[in-house]
Amino acid sequence: MLKIEVDIAAERERLGREIARIEAEIAKAETKLANNNFLKRAPGNVVAQEKCRLVGFGATLDKLKEQLQKLKS
């Protein structure tokens, strides 16, 4: 069997940084999608791609928050 020890404090810090990065990406995507000029000028596939990115970031954020919560328990 493989025994792996995890530095819990370091992992919490890493997850915190990753959560902050993902939240910043979500804010950027939401800002783009709220901008009427972007929606009017951007091709439909670019707008769809931005919406997909937003959904993906949301799912990633949920997973990271769940992992962080498990470490706090």
Dihedral over alpha carbons 39, 28, 71, 12 (to 10 degrees): 160
Q: What domains are defined for the chain? A: 10-72 (1.10.287)
**pLDDT score, position 36:** 97
Other beta carbons within 10 Å of 71: 12
**pLDDT score, position 6:** 79
**pLDDT score, position 24:** 98
b (16+ CB within 10 A) / e for 33-55? beeeeeeeebeeeebeebeebbe
**pLDDT score, position 2:** 78
pTM: 0.85
Q: Walk along the chain (73 residues) and give the pLDDT tens digit of each residue.
A: 777 787 899 999 999 999 999 999 999 999 999 999 999 999 999 999 999 999 999 999 999 999 999 988 7
